[in-house]
Amino acid sequence: MRSTFVNNFLVVVFIFCSGPVLFAKEASGEPKGPEGTKAEIKEYIEHHLQDSHDFSLASYTDDQGNMVYWGFPLPVILWDNGLKVFSSSKLHHGETVAEVDGNFYALYHSKIYKTDAEGTILYDAEDHPTNTKPLDLSITKNVVMMMVTGLLLLWIFSSMARKYKKSGGVPTGVAKFFEPIVLYIRDDIAIPNIGEKKYGRYMPFLLTVFFFIWFLNMFGLTPLGVNVTGNIAVTTALALIVFLMTNFTGTKDYWKHIFDPLGDGMPWYGKMIIYIILVPIEVLGIFIKPFALLIRLYANMTAGHVVLMSLIGLIFIFKSWVGGPLSFGLSFAISLIEVLVALLQAYIFTMLSALYFGFAAEEHDHDHDHEEPVLEHL
C-alpha cells in the first residue's frame, strides 16, 4: 500500500474505470458449475479493481488451457539496495519469477515480493506474506492512464489557447464544447464559494482537477480496463493536495475561526468550557474534510465498477435467453448512469475543493465585528 501510494502520489503531483472484462471459458469445453463460475467472476472483478504492472486489454483461455493476454508490458522500477529496472514481461502476469542482478522477484496479488528462485511466498499466522517487499516505483497501468490523461489535457487546452489567440477570443472547434464548462466552473463554483477577489489563484487547480477526474472516470467506462479513480492511493493524493492548498493559503481569519471561533466580546472564563469541546472539533474538521473527499470519490467509482461487472457476470451465470438479455439490458442502463456519475463525481470534488478554499480565503472587517453583539458570533 505504501509503495503504491508513493508511486501514484508522485504522478498526480507532477502531472496534475473500466469497461467490461472479457470472461474466459474453460479450455475443456465442459460447462462450469454455478459456484465455479461465481468464483471466476469474483476473481475477475477483484483483479479489475487492482492496479497492474502490465497493460492487459483482455484475456482468454486457449484450447490447451493456457491463459492468453492481449496487451503490452510496462517497466518495473524497484528500489532494493539499488535501482532495479526490468520489463513486467519477466513476471508474465505473476506466473513466472523474474531474476534481476542475482535477485528473484515474484508478483503476488498485484504486489512484487523478493523470493527465491522457485518464487516461494512465506506466510505468517494470519496468512499475510512475510517476504521482503521492495519499494515499488513502477510505471503501472494506472500511472500510464494518468500520464495519458495529463498529456491529453495539455494538448486540448494548449491548442484551445492558440486558437483563442488567433480568433481574438472567439471559441472555435472543440473550444465551443469546453468553454461553457470552464465558464460554469468559474462563475458557478469558484466565484460564489471563494469570492471575486481571490478566486483567480485557485482557478488553475479547480479546472485541472475537474477535467483530470472527469477524463479518468470516462476512460474507466471504456474497454481499456482501467480503474484509476477507484484506487484509494490516487484519491488520497488528490485530497492531500487540496488539504495542503487549503491550509497553506489560509488567512489569519481562517485560523482564528478554528482556534477562536467565538471571537472577542466574551470573557475568557466563559469561553473555556465551550472551547474544550469546540476547538478540538474544529481542528478535527481540518482532517475530516479531505478524508471525505478521498472516500467519496473512491467509494462511488469502485461501487459503480463492481455493480456493472457483477451484472455482466450474471450473463455467464444464467446462460439462458431470459437471463442473458436481462443482464445485458441492466448493464447497459447502469453504463448510461455511470456516464452521469463520472461527471457528477468530478463536479462534487471540484465544488467541495472550492468550498474549502473559500474557508481558507475568508476575511472579516474586524472593526465592524467589534460592534456586533456576541450572539452574532454564536
Q: What is the pLDDT of residues 227-238, one digit of tens each?
A: 899 899 999 999
Specify the higher pLDDT residue, 172 or 33.
172
Report helix, strand and coil shares of the chain as percent, to nearest 5: 60, 10, 30
pLDDT of residue 28: 33
Specify the higher pLDDT residue, 262 or 133.
133
Would you say residue 368 has pLDDT above 80? no
| pLDDT tier for residue 374 given thresholds of 50, 70 and 90 | very low
For 21, 24, 85, 174, 240, the CA distances from 211, given in Å and listed in that order, are 25, 35, 32, 14, 18
pLDDT of residue 345: 95
Specify the higher pLDDT residue, 44 or 374.
44
pLDDT of residue 271: 67
Specify the higher pLDDT residue, 22 or 161.
161
% of the chain exceeding 90 in pLDDT: 38
Q: What is the mean pLDDT of residues 76-92?
A: 90
The residue count for the chain: 378
Would you say residue 247 has pLDDT above 90? yes
Would you say residue 104 has pLDDT above 50? yes
Cell numbers for 68: 492468453
pLDDT of residue 267: 65
For 4, 256, 315, the CA distances from 47, given in Å and listed in that order, are 16, 48, 19
pTM (2 d.p.):
0.81
pLDDT of residue 188: 95
DSSP 338: H
pLDDT of residue 35: 58
Nearest to 350 by CA among 236, 239, 254: 239
| pLDDT tier for residue 56 given thresholds of 50, 70 and 90 | confident
Q: What is the mean pLDDT of residues 301-321?
A: 83
Most confident residue range from 9-13, 27-31, 133-137: 133-137
Three-state secondary-structure class, residue 83: strand
Nearest to 235 by CA among 12, 55, 2: 12
Q: What is the mean pLDDT of residues 315-324?
A: 75
Contact present, 293 and 29 (Cβ < 8 Å): no
Contact present, 4 and 136 (Cβ < 8 Å): yes
Would you say residue 20 has pLDDT above 60? no
Q: How many CB atoms lie within 10 A of CB 96?
A: 13
| pLDDT tier for residue 264 given thresholds of 50, 70 and 90 | low
DSSP 227: -
Q: What is the mean pLDDT of residues 129-134?
A: 90
Would you say residue 57 has pLDDT above 50? yes
Three-state secondary-structure class, residue 18: coil
- Render pLDDT for 217-229 as a digit per residue (tens, 0 to 9): 999 888 787 889 9
Would you say residue 84 has pLDDT above 80? yes
Would you say residue 189 has pLDDT above 60? yes
pLDDT of residue 327: 82
Specify the higher pLDDT residue, 134 or 278.
134
Q: What is the mean pLDDT of residues 47-74?
A: 78
Phi, psi of 136 (to 5 degrees): -100, 110
Instruction: Report the range of poorest mean pLDDT among 231-240, 275-284, 298-307.
Output: 275-284
Question: What single letter denotes the amino acid at residue 255?
Answer: W
Q: What is the mean pLDDT of residues 321-328?
A: 77
Question: What single letter denotes the amino acid at residue 200?
Answer: G
